[in-house]
Amino acid sequence: MRYVSTRGDAPILGFDDVLLAGLARDGGLYMPESWPRFTPADWKAMAGLSYAETAFRVLKPFVGGTIADSDLQRMIEDAYRGFGHPAVAPLKQIGPNDWLLELFHGPTLAFKDFALQLVGRLFDHVLKQRNGRVTIVGATSGDTGSAAIEACRDRAAIDIFILHPHGRVSEVQRRQMTTVRSANVHNIAIEGTFDDCQDLVKAMFNDTAFRDRMRLSAVNSINWVRVAAQIVYYVFAALRLGAPARPVAFSVPTGNFGNVLAAYAAHRMGLPIPGLVIGSNRNDILFRLIQTGTMKMEEVAPTLSPSMDIQISSNLERLLFELAGRNGKTVQAMMKRFRKRRELTLSPPRYGRLTKMFSAARADDAETVAIIRRVHETTGELIDPHTAVGLAAAAARRGDTAVPMVTVATAHPAKFPDAVEQATGLRPALPARLADLLQRPERVTVLPNDLRAVQDFVSGRVSIAA
């Protein structure tokens, strides 16, 4: 399997190089040169397999022999062994033919663990084989930082530095980062905002001498391998609900478009998915694109589902590549126009291809709270606000009721206890394995919003021999 850039001007790479590269050199995103296809007989042969076995079958064609099967199998088993539910990604019925796919049983209680737990291991493995190492730096407003830290902790070839805005992340989110005591994990609380943190990270990458000396790297959501790892749970859920004999629809609360893109990839691989529903909060650029064919940038508004408070969905470029017949030059022109005019209109045939597969609905904070309350009243389940946005979209765009509708539950309700309490009067408890989180000692360094101070800290702590 080889990978090409969505902008058509970067070197064609194998899986291991795509893993380490992240972004392509022409500014595009890597995509498989062609989709692996599974026949109905292939899917049938996978029914009843464990999550880890399913993951191995789904990921093998993407890895394309760049990692030995036995190593891949071992890393997959390791990655999902620590999940807090024996099914790894359990399905829960919440309506006549309506289901939740619970993706929050990983170490940090959100779906990003599914990709990052594996990506951290793959990074370490490939780097060790090459005698290399990296320093991962990232900024977080909450969720991604803890998932990246859990994925990279104790990995010999990696140091990780995560910047968060001092005093501006929730206590649970902060403690999920600062109570990890591995020597290669460094938490920095910046006296500033999340935007200041992001600017500092960008500035560190833009300082090429520093970047090369520290071997800076990122594990952000544009990395193809994160998308690939997320394909697995769509396959796993659809097979449990009767695919390939029976089609299965999904509703996905979306920010960067990464999670729903993985569902689209499963469809391209031959999984019978008749439609995908996108759930947006007030930051609704994707909803507007699907309603009108025009994508227009607006300001970001804070909501109860903060992990979706994004205006530019970076992974959308991968779908544009598909809609444009996989023509890199066309995508390059589209992205250039979008950056310049902050607006992009799809041609009628491309818009037609988009709406053939995708529909979308939007929920504001009041609706989000109303859905959390209703689900609790009708099923007894507590759901998180991101999941609620997905459920709102599923209800608004429900097609054939004979087709199972699966909404992906992206976070555990205890990660967003205030919204859940506001809706239901109940404060969800953390799972037992995290029950003592609020008592664990923290390790964090507070630094001023100053590039030199942060760079000095990184170079002083990093284990790379200069």
Ligand X SMILES: *Cc1c(COP(=O)(O)O)cnc(C)c1O
Beta carbon nearer to ligand X, 183 or 300: 300
380 token code pair: 């007894």
Q: Is 124 near ligand X (CB under 6 A)?
A: no
Stretch that binds ligand X, among 74-82, 133-141, 250-258, 440-448 (CB under 6 A): 250-258
Q: How many other CB atoms sit within 10 Å of the CB of residue 405?
A: 25
Q: Is 184 near ligand X (CB under 6 A)?
A: no
Q: Is 159 near ligand X (CB under 6 A)?
A: no
Q: What are the distances in angstroms from CA 237 to CA 59, 245, 248, 272, 373? A: 16, 14, 9, 12, 26
- Among the listed residues 108, 140, 251, 410, the single contact to ligand X using CB under 6 A: 410
- Among the listed residues 10, 24, 63, 110, the single contact to ligand X using CB under 6 A: 110
Sheet containing strand 249-253, edge to edge, reads 91-95, 98-102, 405-409, 249-253, 276-280, 358-362
Instruction: Decide: 278 and 254 in contact? Cβ < 8 Å.
Output: yes
Stretch that binds ligand X, among 47-55, 165-173, 247-255, 336-344 (CB under 6 A): 247-255
Q: Is 411 near ligand X (CB under 6 A)?
A: yes
Q: Is 308 near ligand X (CB under 6 A)?
A: yes
Beta carbon nearer to ligand X, 67 or 147: 147
Query: Can 356 be counted among the known catalytic residues?
Result: no
Phi then psi for 427, rounded to 5 degrees? -100, 110
Beta carbon nearer to ligand X, 101 or 127: 101
Please write down the HEC assignment for all residues of 308-353: HCCCCCCCHHHHHHHHCCCCHHHHHHHHHHHHHHCEEECCHHHHHH
Beta carbon nearer to ligand X, 43 or 416: 416
154: number of CA atoms within 13 Å, CB side?
5
Q: Specify the 3-state DSSP secondary structure of 443.
A: coil
Instruction: Decide: 422 and 369 in contact? Cβ < 8 Å.
Output: yes
Q: Which of 44, 92, 112, 415 is catalytic?
A: 112
Q: Is 386 near ligand X (CB under 6 A)?
A: yes
Beta carbon nearer to ligand X, 136 or 148: 148
Q: How far apart are CA 206 and CA 74, in angstroms?
A: 36
What is the residue type of 258?
Answer: G
- Among the listed residues 192, 244, 258, 417, the single contact to ligand X using CB under 6 A: 258
Q: Is 282 near ligand X (CB under 6 A)?
A: no
Q: Is 145 near ligand X (CB under 6 A)?
A: no
Instruction: Decide: 413 and 382 in contact? Cβ < 8 Å.
Output: yes
Ranges within 73-92 binding ligand X (CB under 6 A): none
Stretch that binds ligand X, among 20-28, 41-49, 237-245, 252-260 (CB under 6 A): 252-260
Beta carbon nearer to ligand X, 112 or 125: 112
Which residues make beta-bridge pairs with 19?
none
Site string for ligand X, 327-366 (x = CB under 6 A): ----------------------------------------
Contacts of 317 (CB under 8 A, 6+ apart): 6, 28, 29, 331, 335
Q: Is 257 near ligand X (CB under 6 A)?
A: yes
Q: Is 256 near ligand X (CB under 6 A)?
A: yes
User: Beta strand pairing status for 185-191 and 216-217?
Assistant: unpaired
Q: Is 254 near ligand X (CB under 6 A)?
A: yes
Q: Is 255 near ligand X (CB under 6 A)?
A: yes
User: Beta strand pairing status for 91-95 and 98-102?
Assistant: antiparallel
Instruction: Decide: 214 and 245 in contact? Cβ < 8 Å.
Output: no
The CB-of-389 to ligand X minimum distance in angstroms stands at: 8
Beta carbon nearer to ligand X, 110 or 169: 110
* Contacts to ligand X by CB under 6 A: 110, 112, 143, 221, 253-259, 307-308, 386, 410-411
Question: Catalytic amino acids?
Answer: 112
